[in-house]
Structure 1
Amino acid sequence: MTRFLPQEAIRQKRDGVVLEGSTVRRFIEGVTAGEVSDAQIAAFAMAAFLRGMTPSETVDLTLAMRDSGDTLRWDDLPGPVADKHSTGGVGDNVSLMLAPIAAACGLYVPMISGRGLGHTGGTLDKLEAIPGYDVRPDERRFRDVVREAGCAIVGQTARLAPADGRIYAVRDVTATVESVPLITASILSKKLAAGLPSLVLDVKTGSGAFMSRREDAETLARSLVEVAQGAGVAASALVTDMDQPLASVAGNAVEVANAVRFLTGERQDTRLREVTLALCGEMLRLAQLAGTAGEGAAMAARALDEGRATERFGRMVAALGGPADFVERFEHHLPQAPVRLEVPAGEAGTVQTVDARALGLAVVRLGGGRTRAEDPVDPAVGLTGLAPIGRRLEPGDALAVVHARDRASAEAAIADVRAAFRLGEAGASGPAVIGRIG
């Protein structure tokens, strides 16, 4: 075989040449084997960032990254397999409810999730607030839990799409994160390695999203759907609003508690229910368990309201090492912050805008997120009772409640939270689901 020269692939992409599939595969094989240096990865990423990639190139890149490690198969399950992926937001704990709701409707959901990134919370960080919950089970246990409970939410192993991990680490420090083809390949390579025949994407837009402009979110959503379909996966995407937190809470343990209250019907934030059921409806439509997304959403609502999803959630938690009575005694099991202080409104008015990103960063500063990958996360801290856009407040009414480790950090968070809200004479929330693609 002719010796592969990574610099030639870089030169071609730099000059705007459409790369052949064999060239893309050999470059990624070199990344995985250590034959391609970090400098060459950075040069390739910058060339792709500046020149772009065609849909066919992005499909080739996605498949090569998928095939850089293990791939899972679920042929032994007696029903359809499906999953969803969110681009991340603040107060977005949809996965915690969506997986058991979908399972209660007949889907099998092997959900591989990630940790917090920047101002956004991570599903794994939330689940680690549950005592004993194993976010990194071995493959056999992962499979057993999916079969038994219908769903399992776990973390990515080092053997799934390892090329993505190396490429992303380089992109993170070379100003090439925002490339739509590279984001697409990064997201889909991991999901395809999980062996999914269908996938729903939740692409956020607004102040709390990575894609703050709607047109950028729609561009990414179209890319994800087109490339997933080109790789043989049934896919669709919802573009959802992140101009305010999706739930009335933000943090780790507080979002798990919110999820349990949602599942049991004790409390369901309106926008959170809208997004969760819409995504479930798309999943059931793609898996052909419902004729339309609307029919699927109605199926999901019944599974939720009848308590079948709650039972699935409890089974999943127990099967992955959490308390068997977690649903019944979640307040006892979850860590509690020792300091809780209200954030009073300084004036009367209606909530007009909320800087969701600022609220996410307030949680990070409390210790509920990371500024470095190796930082520990405090599961107990966060925000609850977040006032939504459109709520009328009088002076002294609470904008939110801060849960903190000490009074000094609580006082700092109060200032951050107050600055994130703007009150005026009028304000109204728009729909949480603002677009559908695919």
Structure 2
Amino acid sequence: MSHTAGRSSFPEMIMKKRDSVQLSPEEIHDFVEGVTSKTMQQSQIGAMLMAIWQKGMDFDETLELTKKMMNSGEVLHWSQDWLVVDKHSTGGVGDKISLILAPALAACGCKVPMISGRGLGHTGGTLDKLESIPGFKINLTVEEVKQTLQDVGCCIVGQTETLVPADRILYAIRDITSTVDSVPLITASIMSKKAAEGLSALVLDVKFGKAALCKDLESALQLAQSLVTVGNKLGIKTGAVLSRMDTPIGRCVGHTLEVYEALECLKGHGPDDLRNLVTTLGGCLLQMSGRSATLEDGENAISEVLKSRKALQKFQDMLVAQGVNAETSCSLCSENAEYFQYLQRAQYQTELRAVDDGTVLGVDGKAIADVLHKLGAGRSKTEDQIKYSVGAELLVDPGQPIQKGQPWIRIHHDCEKLSSQQQQNLEGALDIGSADVYQDSPRVAEFILPN
């Protein structure tokens, strides 16, 4: 791209942002165009990202960046009579919500074209979890996505080559330049992809706590407000749920273990905190999109399709539509499924025992995720191979009494034994104290819903 008279050069744009000057819509257009056409050097992109990270962007700049990124590739369009909805989570430990929520929403008559990501850092990716199911295909063409939505009502896929190419390039560079945690950059990244999906309504699960990107409620509110405002401005009914991310969601962490727990939840079992978060997020979407009169009605509708197993049937149909053998998907979704006949099981299991009597005050999800990452459950670079079978099962819940010597966690691993450092780090994850100190904090702290 040649820079004609009247256009800022890339160095000038970088300098303006570095000096806290607002960028014009034309300059933001040139930046995104420079990224996707590869006329901007990687070092210049990195410098611009760092300038944005340091100086921030105001609302108009953030909205403009989101629009330009959204239009850097194909934007999906659906049938007029479809109610197209989605959910996005800012990432957590044991977060298998999408696997349950997408089919539950489909069972309520919505269309859910969920475009998900892989895990990087300590949080697991939805795509990695699904790929632990033999045969599951995450790369569908736009035509295949449309067909699956037509036939099943939901699909969970990876980002296609043609959708928001600017984000794929910027995301990779943000990761290696330590500019991931910038509110305008996070907002533009998430909302450009969601807007390109052609959604009617979107709910965001913005997490805060020790195991989340946002460490406290205040920073989570700032991010949620930015995402919700941009979403609504783009014509998508957008709301957010702010949820605590200290203790893992549910009792299982790790790819195959989370698939097992998601299937249990779809069969009407599974931990209460997992089911409650699914019904809350689903209820928000049904209310925002006008399918339910109130949040409570929406939550009841989601509960009902879990209880009646209509959501389970949708999950089974989605597996088949995305390449899983019909016999495998039928067996996994049967009542007394032999899960590990199909899912990989780690060679070794090690149980850790409590060193004191008392009450479980909490379990540090980040500490557990970090150990699992080192055992092979996560990746440090995009191309790393991961071990689907590595994971952890919590054997206790916060608030319950525990006795010295009682097993509290089971680690699934492929190496012969855990190192003493890993054992020590895991032992530090369990917080035991007296019952009168325990505070039962609900997972959902706040809602930001559109009027």
Instruction: Give TM-score, length-normalised by structure 1.
Output: 0.96
Which residue number corresponds to residue 268 of structure 1? 270
Q: Which residue matches 1:20?
A: 24
Structure 1 stretch 120-129 or stretch 32-41: which is displaced more? Answer: 32-41
Aligned partner of 1:146 in structure 2 is 149
Cα separation, partners in 2 of 1:137 and 1:412, compared to 1, 3 Å: farther
Contact kept in structure 2, 1:244 and 1:388, CA below 8 Å:
no
Deviations 1:105-160 (A, max 9, x none): 11100000001121111101100110000011222222211211110011112221
Instruction: Tell me the residue number matched to 2:416.
Output: 407
SS state at 1:68 partner:
coil
Secondary structure at the counterpart of residue 422 of structure 1: strand
CA RMSD of superposed structures (Å): 1.6
Matches within 5 A, 1:274-285: 274-285=276-287
Identity %: 40
Q: 2:398 aligns with which of 383, 389, 395?
A: 389
Deviation at 1:22, TM superposition (A): 2.1
Aligned to 2:179, which of 176, 181, 206?
A: 176
Equivalent residues in 2 for 1:14-53, closer than 5 Å: 14-53=18-57
**Which residue is 2:388 aligned to?**
379
State yes or no: 1:437 paired with 2:448.
Answer: yes
Structure 1 consecutive aligned stretches of length 4 or more whose deviation exceeds 6 Å: none
Specify the alignment match of 1:305 in structure 2: 307
For the pair 1:6 / 2:10, whether they are aligned, the reply is yes
For residues 378-430 of structure 1, the C-alpha deviation after alignment (integer angstroms, 9 at most, x for no partner) is: 11110013422212111221211111113224876544322211111122431
Which ranges in structure 1 are unaligned for 5 or more consecutive residues?
none
Contact 1:66-1:190 at 8 Å conserved across structures: yes
C-alpha distance after superposition, 1:276-299 (max 9, x if no partner): 111001111122111222211111
Distance of aligned partners of 1:182 and 1:102 in 2 relative to their CA distance in 1, 3 Å threshold? same
- Distance in 2, matches of 1:99 and 1:155, equals 15
Task: Give, as a single letter, the amino acid of the residue that structure 1 aligns with 2:147.
Answer: D
The alignment partner of 1:374 has SS state of coil
Which residue among 56, 64, 72 is the counterpart of 2:76?
72
Alignment of structure 1 residues 154-165 onto 2, 5 Å: 154-165=157-168
Moved more, 97-106 or 324-333: 324-333
Distance 2:202 2:408 in 1: 36
Q: Is the 8 A contact 1:399 1:418 kept in 2?
A: no
Who is 1:249 aligned against?
252
Question: What amino acid sits opposite 2:274 in the alignment?
Answer: L
Report the CA distance between 1:362 and its aligned residue: 1.6
Q: Is the 8 A contact 1:204 1:242 kept in 2?
A: yes
Q: Give the structure 2 partner of residue 296 of structure 1.
A: 298
CA distance in 1, matches of 2:421, 2:157: 33
Shift of 1:323: 3.1
1:309 Cα offset (Å)? 0.6
- 8 Å CA contact retained: 2:87, 2:202: yes
Return the offset for 1:96.
0.5
Q: What is the SS of the residue equivalent to 2:239?
A: strand
- Count of residue correspondences: 436
SS class of match (1:72): coil
Q: Does residue 114 of structure 1 match 2:117? A: yes
Within 1, Cα distance between the matches of 2:19 and 2:371?
43
Whether contact under 8 Å (2:115, 2:159) holds in the other structure is yes
2:233 maps to 1:230? yes
Aligned to 2:333: 327
Could you report, residue by residue, the CA deviation over 1:9-40 in whole angstroms, capped at 9, with x for unpaired residues?
22222222222222211211111101111122
2:206 to 203, 206, 210: 203
**SS of the residue aligned with 1:401?**
strand
2:120 and 2:381 in contact (8 A); partners too:
no
Summarize the Cα distance change of 1:249–1:27 in structure 2 as closer, same or farther, 3 Å threshold.
same
Gaps of 5+ in 2: none
TM-score, scaled to structure 2: 0.93
Shift of 1:102: 0.7
Q: Tell me, yes or no, if structure 1 residue 130 matches structure 2 residue 127.
A: no
- Which amino acid letter does the alignment assign opposite residue 295 of structure 2? A
Residue range with higher mean Cα deviation, 329-338 or 175-184: 329-338
Kept after mapping to 2: 8 A contact 1:402/1:414: no
- Bigger drift between 426-435 and 182-191 goes to 426-435
**How far apart are residue 331 of structure 1 and its match?**
3.6
Cα-to-partner distance string for 1:215-270 (whole Å, 9 max, x where unaligned): 111110001001111222110000001110011010000000000001102x3211
Match among 362, 372, 379 for residue 370 of structure 1: 379
CA contact (8 A) 2:181 2:213 kept: no
